[in-house]
Structures are given as C-alpha cells and as structure tokens.
C-alpha cells in the first residue's frame, strides 16, 4: 500500500501542487478589484433567479404550483451557472496560459482542470445558499440526498468533457468561443431549467414525448437528478421515472463517459502541439 501511495505521489504530486496554485491564483484574480468580491459568485445566480422567477413563474405562470418551485428554480440556475462559468473560462485557459505553458513544464490539462475547479468552488458556495433557502422553505429532505454527490460528480464530468473538447478546438479556431456562446443559450432554454418539465408533459401527446427526450441530454439529466434528490423528489421528473427502458435510462451516463474519454484523448493528442500553434 505504501508503495502504491508513493508511486501515486511521484507521478501526480507535482501536478497536484501546480493545480492547487493555479486554482488559488485564479480564484483571487477573478474578483480582484471588485467591491463585493466573492459575493458575486452568489449574487449572479440570485439576480438571474429573481428575473426568471418573475418573468416565467409570475407573468407566464410556468410553475409546478408547489412551494418548493422557487428553490428548485434557484438550484437549476446555480447548476447551469457552474457549467457556463467552467466552460467559458476553461475553453480559453490554454491560450490565456500560453506564456506559462511555454516557460514552465507541467501537464497542459491542469490549466483546464483548474478553471473547472474554480467554477466548482463557486458552485459549492451556491449549494450552501440553496440549502439555506430550502430550510427556510421547509423542504422535507429524503434519503435521496445521499445520491447527490454522484449527481454532482456526473455534472462535473460532462462539464469537464465539453471544456476539454472546446479548449482543444479554441487553440486552432478562436470562433469556437462565439459558437459556444450561442449553443449554451440554446441548451439553457431547451432544457427544463426555467420551466418545469411537468408544464409540458402534463399536456400529453407528442409534445410531451419530445419533452421527455430532453432528459437524454446529460446536462439536463444531471441537473434534474440534482433537483430531484436534493429538493423535490415528488415533483421533479427524471429519466429514471420517465422511462422504463434501461437503455434509455443509461444513455446520458454513457454519453458522459464517452465524451469525457474523447475529450481527454483529443486534448492529450494535441497538447504537444499547443506551444507551436500559439
């Protein structure tokens, strides 16, 4: 056992030290010069939640009609905020850290991972805020909260996979940043985040079947599972209770694994050329 620990330390010890340093530096620089500082990591999703709740919950009445809906909405927005922050910073990380990568020798993937870890720290803070709101709203927690870490790991995995893919492409094609700006808006409004999935599925027909297929999207599946297991298991549909076919149930998980493998492989295959291209 000691030999295994020593081998792991010798192989990844330096990378882990560099990762810690980059995460600390990025997190400090992110809010440097800001009056509110780290509070913005909480204020941004809260302000977005207020706008979305007023527009969609009050004016358009896209609500599931339960007292937990505002907390569910806040949790969904906070989860998507993590995805957008991680990908937007991560896809530029290799290019932004180009000078450092040319001067100091360490695995290139660390700069991408540090960007996603920095966003994850903000997400963890937001989860604490969601927990406070859930307690105020008198949410009844169930045994399903023990599954929450698995759901969060899955959301991080699919986010890291997409970030690695885009960081690799961004080195060669700067237009990928603009393309992702459009795609993330389409994904956000196409997923049941600002509107409850039951708003569509309860109407029945072909539209309801199409709405259920949104859960095949790994982002939608992971976020819905987080909301279901954390806040509202009685009102939040998931792929596990909407489909009886295990092939469909496991499809988002399989897509996450495949995309992560492909993202890591593509990044590693091209990482040696980054310094030349930049």
Summarised one tens digit per residue, pLDDT across range 63-113 is 666 778 888 888 998 999 999 999 998 898 888 776 666 666 667 788 888
Instruction: With respect to residue 6, please indicate whether it lies within any of the assigned structural domains.
Output: no
Instruction: With respect to residue 2, please indicate whether it lies within any of the assigned structural domains.
Output: no
Q: Please check the confidence at residue 11 and state whether its pLDDT lies above 80.
A: no
Q: Which domain does 163 fall in, by range?
A: 14-277
Instruction: With respect to residue 187, please indicate whether it lies within any of the assigned structural domains.
Output: yes
Instruction: With respect to residue 7, please indicate whether it lies within any of the assigned structural domains.
Output: no
Distances (CA, A) of 21 to 9, 17, 28, 211: 17, 6, 11, 43
CA max distance for the chain: 63
- Residue 84 pLDDT: 92
- CA 207, CA 189: separation in Å to the nearest integer? 16
Alpha helices per DSSP H over the chain = 2-30, 40-52, 69-90, 93-96, 98-103, 109-136, 148-172, 176-190, 198-201, 205-212, 218-230, 239-242, 246-249, 251-271, 274-277
Instruction: With respect to residue 256, please indicate whether it lies within any of the assigned structural domains.
Output: yes
- CA 112, CA 118: separation in Å to the nearest integer? 10
- Residue 27 pLDDT: 66
Structure tokens at 237: 């549909």
CA angle 144, 150, 156 (to 5 degrees): 135
Number of domains in the chain: 1
* Lowest mean pLDDT, pick from 48-57, 92-101, 217-226: 48-57
DSSP 55: I
Other Cβ atoms closer than 10 A to 158: 23
- Specify the pTM: 0.87
DSSP 193: T
Instruction: With respect to residue 23, please indicate whether it lies within any of the assigned structural domains.
Output: yes
- CA 89, CA 123: separation in Å to the nearest integer? 14
User: What dihedral do alpha carbons 11, 15, 17, 18 form, nearest 10°?
Assistant: 160
- Mean pLDDT of all residues in 14-23: 69
Q: Please check the confidence at residue 250 and state whether its pLDDT lies above 70.
A: yes
CA neighbours closer than 13 Å in the CB half-sphere of residue 261: 6
- CA 179, CA 175: separation in Å to the nearest integer? 6
Residues 123-156 have pLDDT tens digits of 988 898 888 888 888 888 889 999 999 999 999 9
Are 187 and 219 a contacting pair, CB within 8 Å? yes
Closest CA to 73 of 149, 15, 11, 130: 130
Q: Please check the confidence at residue 8 and state whether its pLDDT lies above 60.
A: no
- Mean pLDDT of all residues in 176-186: 90
Instruction: With respect to residue 1, please indicate whether it lies within any of the assigned structural domains.
Output: no
Are 53 and 188 a contacting pair, CB within 8 Å? no
- Residue 42 pLDDT: 67
- CA 225, CA 9: separation in Å to the nearest integer? 35
Band the pLDDT of 5: cuts 50, 70, 90: very low
Burial (CB count <10 Å: 0-12, 13-18, 19+), residue 278: middle
- CA 116, CA 118: separation in Å to the nearest integer? 5
Percent of the chain exceeding pLDDT 90 equals 26
Instruction: With respect to residue 8, please indicate whether it lies within any of the assigned structural domains.
Output: no
- Residue 259 pLDDT: 95
- Residue 155 pLDDT: 96
């Amino acid at each position: 056992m000691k030999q295994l620990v020593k081998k792991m330390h010798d192989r990844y010890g330096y990378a882990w030290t560099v990762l810690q340093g980059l995460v600390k530096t990025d997190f400090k620089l992110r809010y440097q010069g800001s009056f509110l500082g780290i509070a913005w990591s909480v204020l941004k999703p809260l302000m977005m939640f207020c706008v979305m709740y007023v527009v969609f919950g009050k004016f358009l009445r896209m609500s599931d009609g339960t007292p937990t809906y505002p907390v569910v909405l806040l949790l969904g927005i906070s989860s998507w905020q993590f995805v957008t922050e991680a990908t937007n910073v991560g896809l530029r990380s290799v290019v932004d850290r180009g000078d450092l990568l040319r001067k100091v020798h360490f695995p290139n993937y660390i700069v991408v991972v540090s960007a996603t870890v920095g966003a994850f720290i903000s997400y963890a803070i937001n989860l604490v805020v969601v927990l406070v709101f859930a307690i105020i709203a008198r949410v009844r927690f169930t045994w399903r909260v023990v599954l929450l870490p698995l759901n969060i790991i899955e959301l991080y995995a699919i986010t890291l996979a997409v970030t690695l893919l885009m960081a690799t492409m961004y080195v060669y094609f700067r237009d990928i940043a603009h393309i992702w700006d459009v795609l993330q808006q389409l994904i956000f409004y196409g997923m049941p985040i600002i509107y409850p999935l039951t708003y569509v599925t309860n109407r029945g027909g072909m539209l309801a079947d199409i709405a259920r297929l949104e859960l095949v999207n790994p982002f939608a599946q992971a976020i819905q599972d987080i909301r279901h297991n954390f806040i509202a298991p009685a009102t939040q549909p998931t792929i596990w209770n909407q489909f009886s076919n295990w092939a469909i149930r496991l499809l988002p998980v399989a897509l996450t694994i495949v995309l992560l493998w492909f993202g890591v492989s593509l990044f590693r295959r091209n990482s040696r050329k980054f310094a030349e291209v930049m």
